[in-house]
Amino acid sequence: MIGIVDYGMGNLRSVQKALEHLGAEARILTAPEQLLEVDRLVLPGVGAFGDGMLQLAERGLIEPIHDFLATSRPFLGICLGLQLLFECSQEDAPSPDEPVRGLGVLPGRVMRFQGEAFGPGRLKVPHMGWNRLDYRVDDPLFAGQGAAPSVYFVHSYYAEPADPSHVSASTDYGITFCSAVRRGTLAAVQFHPEKSQRVGQAMLAQFAGVR
């Protein structure tokens, strides 16, 4: 059984339908105690970092997520679900010196796309559409995909891991940013596999353990 964490951020049904299409059993989880009842866990998400952390806290989901990760069962973060794993974010921060605190599962921070490459007449923010992955490690999530597959992104912020060994893939968009992470049985991606057609379906199949 695959559990999908419902914290009011994002289209949970699209992730559920993508997994069910592959033959996996997937259930949307609405209560904290349900998180430890599943074999694999997905933390999806679309929206702002601060709102995401507020919703996780108000629904009593922060400790259960940590408890699930401590069991070393497979975990997949998607988009905002990747960013929330880090220590802090610039998004919604009252000042650069007061970042919004995240789950703190992975060391590092979440940054906004900014600099000379971005702005009027240059690259747009959010980064939206198809872009390529550059693999950094041999991650089972990407098995059989071939070199530099294209996946679908929608985001204005990106994770900056403190430990480079956690970066499993990167992508170029004005800068080279972390587009996927891996630590043991924990995997997370900045892109949307449920919107990435054949490539994304293959990744979800790898996570779900279906062939």
CA angle 117, 113, 127 (to 5 degrees): 85
Quote the distance between the C-alpha of residue 135 and its chain's center.
16
CA angle 93, 5, 69 (to 5 degrees): 85
3-state helix, strand, coil in the chain (%, to 5): 30, 35, 35
| Architecture of the domain made up of 2-208 | 3-Layer(aba) Sandwich (3.40)
pLDDT band per the 50, 70, 90 thresholds, residue 95? confident
Strand partners for 159? 110, 178
Tens digit of pLDDT for each residue in 115-137? 999 988 899 999 999 999 999 99
In this prediction, residue 178 carries a pLDDT of: 98
Q: Is the pLDDT of residue 211 over 80?
A: no
Residues 67-94 have a mean pLDDT of: 97
> What does the domain layout of the chain look like in residue ranges?
2-208
Tens digit of pLDDT for each residue in 140-189? 999 988 889 999 999 999 999 999 999 999 999 999 999 999 999 999 99
Share of the chain above pLDDT 90, in %: 92
Question: Which residues are part of the catalytic machinery?
Answer: 79, 192, 194
State pTM to two decimals: 0.96
C-alpha distances out from residue 200 to 22, 32, 67, 203, 210, Å: 11, 28, 28, 5, 14
pLDDT band per the 50, 70, 90 thresholds, residue 96? confident
**Kind and range of the H or E element at 13?**
helix 12-21
pLDDT band per the 50, 70, 90 thresholds, residue 195? very high
The mean predicted confidence, pLDDT, of the chain is 96
In this prediction, residue 10 carries a pLDDT of: 84
Low-confidence winner among 9-13, 53-57, 87-91, 192-196 (lowest mean pLDDT): 9-13
